[in-house]
Amino acid sequence: MASIVLSAADKAEDRHAWAMLQRARPLVDWDKGSLRHADLTGEGVWSRVMAGQDDERRLYVGLVRPAREGALNPQVVELGAVSALSLAFHKLERPEECVALDGTRLEGCPAKRGKRGLTLTIDGTTVLRLHWNAPARRFDTTPWALPSG
């Protein structure tokens, strides 16, 4: 596996993303070690994803789009009391990847080369998938299921 080398600009964007999350949810302890990067919007630039927890042990996932601040950036998803969380990216590069479990098309999800969605596996059972809804300018969640076997 090839290693990713972060430039000084990338590191500055990481710090900015953390600061944005701190301002959005100051009572959440955002874990810098959980920081992940991917092109979640299909614009060819990295969004940042970070997990955090509050004093009541509720877990949050923050999504920060690059170089934009506003009402929906960052976007924070509250997961509640969670004992285990796994974050993974999935491809949204082909039209058949922009569909829900029931086969319906994900709203506002144009497939694009290099585009990713975020898969959250919560306590090893519940799975949510997040994708960028371009017309609504927000991340939408879709319930998912773990593969059997």
Other residues' Cβ atoms within 10 Å of the Cβ of residue 80: 10
**pLDDT number for residue 13:** 87
How far, in Å, CA of 147 to CA of 13, rounded? Answer: 35
**pLDDT number for residue 83:** 87
Task: Considering only residues 143 and 68, tell me which one the structure prediction assigns the higher pLDDT.
Answer: 143
Other residues' Cβ atoms within 10 Å of the Cβ of residue 55: 8
**pLDDT number for residue 10:** 79
**pLDDT number for residue 54:** 94
In this predicted structure, the answer to whether residue 70 has a pLDDT above a threshold of 80 is no
User: 110-123 pLDDT, tens per residue?
Assistant: 999 999 999 999 88
Cα–Cα distance list, 33 to 29, 95, 110, 128, 132 (Å): 12, 33, 31, 21, 24
In this predicted structure, the answer to whether residue 146 has a pLDDT above a threshold of 70 is no
Q: Report the 3 state secondary structure along 6-41.
A: CCHHHHHHHHHHHHHHHHHCCCCEECHHHCEEECCC
What is the average pLDDT score of the chain?
A: 88
Task: Give the model's confidence band at 66: pLDDT under 50 very low, under 70 low, under 90 confident, else very high.
Answer: confident
**pLDDT number for residue 72:** 82
User: 38-49 pLDDT, tens per residue?
Assistant: 999 999 999 999
Q: What is the mean pLDDT of residues 17-37?
A: 94
Q: What is the mean pLDDT of residues 125-138?
A: 90
**pLDDT number for residue 6:** 64
Token match 């585009």: residue?
115
Task: Give the model's confidence band at 143: pLDDT under 50 very low, under 70 low, under 90 confident, else very high.
Answer: confident
